[in-house]
Amino acid sequence: MLKRLSLSLCLLAVSQVTFAKPDNLATEQILRRGNGSEVQTLDPHKAEGVPASNILRDLYEGLTIESPDGTVIPGTAESWEISNDGKVYTFHIRKNAKWSNGDPVTAGDFVYGLRRSVNPATGSQYSQILAPILNAEAIIAGTKPVSSLGVAALDDKTLKITLKAATPYLLGLLNHSTTYPVHKGSVEKNGDKFSRPGKLVGNGAYVLKEWVVQSQVVLERNPMYWDNDKTIIEKVIYLPIEETSAELKRYRAGELDITGSIPTSQYDWIKKNLPGELHVAPTLGTYYYGFNLTRPPFKNNLKLRQALSMAVDREILTEKITKAGEVPAYGWVPPGVNNYTSQQLDYATLSRADRIKKAKQLYREAGYNKGNPLTVEIRYNTSEGHKKVAIAISAMWKINLGIKTRLMNEEWKVFLENRKQKKLTQVFRGGWIGDYNDAFTFAELMQSNHGINDSGYNNPKYDKLLEQAAGESDMEKRRGILEAAERMLLKDHAIMPLYFYVTKHLIKPYVKGYEPNILDHTYTKNLWIVKH
């Protein structure tokens, strides 16, 4: 017996209400968005990072999407049923869902996309996120054929997804780019170039018109989109601007309508002079430093990792450096995650003086002292904010332990590749924004076989806990398992959590429809511009 998800039916009913366009619309509906680093690719199954995700949410659409407040709602699937054991989801694809070239979107397109995501030949760094689907892990490991994935098209408009165990966050996961469908004919015709302008066939509210590297990515409204009548912005221009100070200048000059972030050094000025345009809100994200655990000096040296972590004053970082309401992080999973209590490092309650005293002791026991100091490299991607954090931490290490630090900044693509290769990195900047509201989105990043586990953390006991959590349908037991896994990760000091993120955007007063949400996901199709 199947149970129909009443939420999806209610939302579907709401979506059928006659749409009335807002009053006082500007004649020109062109939105300019600051987007951080240059994206590596717009292939939804290979892309990494927030900048690419922002664009892909406009170009493609999953089975589910999010309302402006972050609530999961029907996307290309208009409704679904869930089996009583929570292992089988049956999705009904909208009859009017089309690709940007006019072809109908079918259940088979989602089967093709999901199989492509888990196929080792695709080279997705995110494929592990699909582990809840039956046989996904074996396919990723190369021990089962792609055709064995637990997805099936029952007909053109009915998709069945079979899971290995009940997965409470599945509906939130299904709006992640790894789950997006891709147009089979376009991919087979154009190969790796299918995601370029003139070739990308998407099913989202916008289509890709132009991509000038280090300049701009231009999207235009997709008239074939099933909900196009409610889309108001005609064109959105994404501008890759790594330096937040440069982004602020362009915003003040009227070249941007929304910034990706703000320069921390000018936070007080912005708060005083642009109060109605500054939007700060909590988000499910952790800013951290990773240790390369695959090579010296951090391989098999727990005491050294612990000493470096204890020597960092997170309160100073958030009060004096970031200054926008960030919360000092003594754990990996941020507060606000559904059905979860964030865990903490064992020294979180110690006084500052006691932490430094213990850090010095551990540093000596690890084989270092002021006569034989550690020389270490902090690697970060180009950004004024990342540089300030790195300078502050290197100063704390120098003052408290006598460590000599080299700072290395790199362009985003190079930085990601070096992190992945683990040949040059020692300490590196990291940031993880939850892909869905569940602790597993943080826990799984540190699995030994995860494609973005750039620390190289490999603890079979940790992996076993995550395996147990993935197969546990009792929510309280699952919660306990995941909390135990976080405690283990923190005890091993595989990473150094620094602070929990808040989102920081400047938005022009004439841009309407924006609502902050815990995942900081904003679809352009939900925005509009009024006369100004």
Mean pLDDT on 98-114: 98
Res 388 pLDDT > 60: yes
246 falls within a domain: no
Shared domain for 314 and 375, answered yes or no, is yes
Shared domain for 87 and 154, answered yes or no, is yes
Range of the domain at 172: 2-240
145 falls within a domain: yes
Asked if residue 40 lies in contact with residue 416, where contact means CB atoms within 8 angstroms, the answer is: yes
Mean pLDDT on 326-343: 94
Asked if residue 452 lies in contact with residue 48, where contact means CB atoms within 8 angstroms, the answer is: yes
The model's confidence at residue 6, banded by pLDDT at 50, 70 and 90, is: very low
Shared domain for 74 and 144, answered yes or no, is yes
Give the pLDDT of residue 125.
Answer: 87
Q: Where are the alpha helices (DSSP H) in 93-241?
A: 107-118, 136-141, 170-173, 184-190
Q: Which two tokens stand for residue 317?
A: 């970082």
Cβ count near 344 (within 10 Å): 16
Q: For the full predicted model, state whether its pTM sits above 0.75.
A: yes
Q: What angle do CA 132, 111, 67 make, to 5 degrees?
A: 70
31 falls within a domain: yes
Give the pLDDT of residue 323.
Answer: 87
Shared domain for 171 and 42, answered yes or no, is yes
258 falls within a domain: no
Looking at the chain, the whole-number percentage of residues with pLDDT higher than 70 is 96
Shared domain for 208 and 349, answered yes or no, is no
299-325 tens-digit pLDDT: 999 999 999 999 999 999 999 999 888
Mean pLDDT on 88-95: 98
511 falls within a domain: no
Q: Mean pLDDT in the chain? A: 94
The model's confidence at residue 13, banded by pLDDT at 50, 70 and 90, is: very low
Res 326 pLDDT > 80: yes
523-532 tens-digit pLDDT: 999 999 999 9
Mean pLDDT on 269-280: 94
The span from the CA of 142 to the CA of 394, in Å, is 42
Q: Where are the alpha helices (DSSP H) in 40-164?
A: 50-59, 107-118, 136-141
- Nearest to residue 384, comparing CAs of 481, 250, 244, 487? 244
3-state secondary structure of 512: strand
417-458 tens-digit pLDDT: 999 999 999 999 999 999 889 999 999 999 998 988 999 999
Q: List Cα–Cα distances, 506 to 34, 151, 240, 274, 407, in angstroms.
A: 10, 42, 16, 8, 29
- Nearest to residue 404, comparing CAs of 438, 374, 383? 374
Res 14 pLDDT > 50: no
Shared domain for 315 and 231, answered yes or no, is no
Shared domain for 286 and 395, answered yes or no, is yes
Res 327 pLDDT > 80: yes
The span from the CA of 470 to the CA of 517, in Å, is 26
The span from the CA of 89 to the CA of 3, in Å, is 10
111 falls within a domain: yes
Give the pLDDT of residue 473.
Answer: 81
Query: At 153, which helix (H) or strand (E)?
Result: strand 151-155
Res 18 pLDDT > 60: no
Give the pLDDT of residue 458.
Answer: 97
Looking at the DSSP bridge assignments, the partners of residue 499 are 287, 328
20-34 tens-digit pLDDT: 788 899 999 999 999
Shared domain for 286 and 232, answered yes or no, is no
Shared domain for 188 and 44, answered yes or no, is yes
95 falls within a domain: yes
- Out of 179, 212, 240, a domain closes at 240
- Out of 240, 269, 291, a domain closes at 240
What is the CATH number for 30?
Answer: 3.40.190.10
Give the pLDDT of residue 15.
Answer: 43
48-81 tens-digit pLDDT: 889 999 999 999 999 999 999 989 999 999 999 9
Shared domain for 222 and 307, answered yes or no, is no
3-state secondary structure of 185: helix
Q: List Cα–Cα distances, 56 to 77, 117, 119, 313, 516, in angstroms.
A: 18, 15, 20, 37, 19
Asked if residue 87 lies in contact with residue 165, where contact means CB atoms within 8 angstroms, the answer is: yes
Q: List Cα–Cα distances, 124 to 5, 118, 147, in angstroms.
A: 31, 7, 17
Give me the number of domains the chain comprises: 2
User: Of 5-14, 67-76, 211-220, which gets the smallest average pLDDT?
Assistant: 5-14
Give the pLDDT of residue 19.
Answer: 67
Residues in CB range of 416: below 8 A, 6 or more apart = 40, 48, 49, 381
Shared domain for 385 and 448, answered yes or no, is yes
What is the CATH number for 376?
Answer: 3.10.105.10
270 falls within a domain: no
140-199 tens-digit pLDDT: 999 999 999 999 999 999 999 999 999 989 999 999 999 999 999 999 999 999 999 999
- Out of 221, 240, 259, a domain closes at 240
Shared domain for 286 and 230, answered yes or no, is no
